[in-house]
């Protein structure tokens, strides 16, 4: 964790420089050596450089400020300045953003990144303004995969009754209910102990999370299902934002874009090395074939009908059409 600049400075020169440095508290779910840490460091470095050190990010990794919902509420209250959060709880603030949680919506990384970097993704960021949140840039976790302690997943039937932790996300919950699993929404800070105690059988997250959180220590099977893309967003509090001048706003915005790019680079590396690392760590890994994924999509038909009503068939088609 970074020490606030003032704390370091005070021990040397009795505080004269402190008034010039504003601390920016940033909370996130995973450890500093995760994609979240990579994003936060890059955001901090770029912003601090562009503002000649007038702002200093103070990091609270590993859910030290609570679950993702708690941290977003902290931003709304102005007790926390910045965060990077997954799409997990975002639908509770802006329901429309849930469209990106629709299973198998994105063909691959290039498709997802083109949508988020294009007008659809950028317009979506702007919708958070009414919630006391300034969404500055998209970051990334990767495509989510299923881990569990019961069996390898090959077919929808293999999911029957599986107590699977999901994020507190209505789109994900409906998908796993439709597939016959027993989705158990839970904030991330409770997940590892719930897996250890066996109150849930499994969870789903991208390789970046599976590796960073060492899920191999509590899970046996990893099924590379890639069932949904997982973006995240770099936010600052509106209360903090409204106190910035235009040049500093631009520094934070440009820094957040750097943070998002650093997360994508971390995810690219996790996609390349993660399976090997988890195999070496003893996980039993299977990858779904295109036919097996098609069987899951077919089983999801009733959920897709609901998603079309919720998000509109036009938006779903516009996303599919992005090249
Ligand atoms: O599963 C989740 O809740 C999220 O993917 C996580 C691990 C908190 C990262 O944002």
The region, left, alpha or beta by phi > 0 then psi within -120 to 50, assigned to residue 185 is beta
Q: What are phi and psi of 204, to 5 degrees?
A: -140, 135
Does residue 203 fall inside a structural domain?
A: yes
| Ordered DSSP codes for 212-246 | HTTGGGT--EEEEEEEEEEEEEEEEEHHHHTTS-H
What is the sign, positive or negative, of the torsion defined by CA atoms of 226, 29, 119, 272?
Answer: negative
Does residue 88 fall inside a structural domain?
A: yes
pLDDT in tens, 178-215: 999 999 999 999 999 999 999 999 999 999 999 999 99
Does residue 3 fall inside a structural domain?
A: no
pLDDT in tens, 65-120: 999 999 999 999 999 999 999 999 999 999 999 999 999 999 999 999 999 999 99
Does residue 5 fall inside a structural domain?
A: no
CA of 157 from ligand 1 middle (Å) equals 26
pLDDT in tens, 228-273: 999 999 999 999 999 999 999 999 999 999 999 999 999 999 999 9
In short, whether 24's Cβ falls inside 6 Å of ligand 1 is no
Residue 95 tokens, joined: 């329901």
Mean pLDDT of 263-287: 97
Into how many domains does the chain fold?
A: 1
Does residue 207 fall inside a structural domain?
A: yes
CA of 188 from ligand 1 middle (Å) equals 6
Tell me, what CATH number does 138's domain have?
3.40.190.170
pLDDT-derived band at 19, boundaries 50, 70, 90: low
CA of 306 from ligand 1 middle (Å) equals 25
Whose alpha carbon is nearest atom 4 of ligand 1? 86
Q: What range does the domain containing 283 cover? A: 11-321
The CA–CA distances, whole Å, from 159 to 156, 164, 186, 278 equal 5, 9, 18, 22
Does residue 105 fall inside a structural domain?
A: yes
In short, whether 288's Cβ falls inside 6 Å of ligand 1 is no
In short, whether 188's Cβ falls inside 6 Å of ligand 1 is yes
pLDDT in tens, 136-182: 999 999 999 999 999 999 999 999 999 999 999 999 999 999 999 99
Helix (H, G, I), strand (E, B) or coil at 144: strand
Does residue 4 fall inside a structural domain?
A: no
279: nearest Cα among 227, 213, 225, 220: 220
Does residue 1 fall inside a structural domain?
A: no
pLDDT in tens, 294-310: 999 999 999 999 999 99
């Amino acid at each position: 964790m970074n020490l606030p600049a003032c704390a370091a400075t005070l021990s040397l020169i009795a505080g004269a420089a402190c008034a010039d440095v504003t601390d920016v508290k940033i909370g996130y779910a995973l450890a500093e050596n995760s994609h979240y840490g990579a994003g936060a460091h890059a955001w901090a470095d770029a912003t601090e450089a562009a503002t000649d050190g007038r702002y200093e990010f103070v990091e609270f990794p590993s859910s030290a400020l609570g679950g993702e919902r708690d941290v977003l509420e902290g931003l709304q209250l102005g007790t926390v300045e910045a965060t990077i959060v997954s799409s997990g709880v975002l639908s509770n603030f802006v329901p429309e953003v849930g469209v990106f949680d629709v299973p198998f919506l994105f063909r691959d990384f290039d498709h997802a990144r083109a949508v988020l970097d294009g007008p659809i993704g950028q317009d979506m960021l702007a919708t958070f303004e009414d919630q006391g949140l300034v969404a500055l840039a998209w970051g990334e976790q990767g495509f989510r995969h299923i881990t569990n302690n019961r069996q390898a997943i090959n077919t929808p039937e293999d999911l029957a009754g599986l107590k699977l932790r999901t994020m507190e996300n209505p789109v994900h919950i409906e998908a796993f209910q439709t597939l016959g699993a027993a989705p158990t929404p839970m904030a991330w800070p409770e997940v590892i102990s719930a897996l250890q105690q066996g109150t849930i059988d499994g969870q789903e997250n991208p390789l970046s999370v599976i590796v960073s959180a060492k899920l191999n220590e509590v899970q046996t099977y990893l099924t590379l299902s890639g069932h949904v893309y997982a973006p995240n967003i770099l936010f600052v509090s509106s209360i903090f934002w409204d106190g910035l001048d235009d040049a500093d706003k631009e520094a934070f915005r440009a820094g957040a874009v750097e943070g998002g790019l650093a997360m994508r680079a971390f995810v690219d590396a996790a996609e390349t090395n993660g399976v090997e690392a988890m195999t070496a760590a003893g996980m039993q890994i299977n990858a779904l074939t295109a036919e097996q994924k098609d069987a899951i999509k077919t089983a999801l038909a009733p959920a897709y009908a609901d998603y079309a009503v919720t998000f509109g068939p036009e938006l779903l088609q516009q996303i599919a059409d992005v090249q």
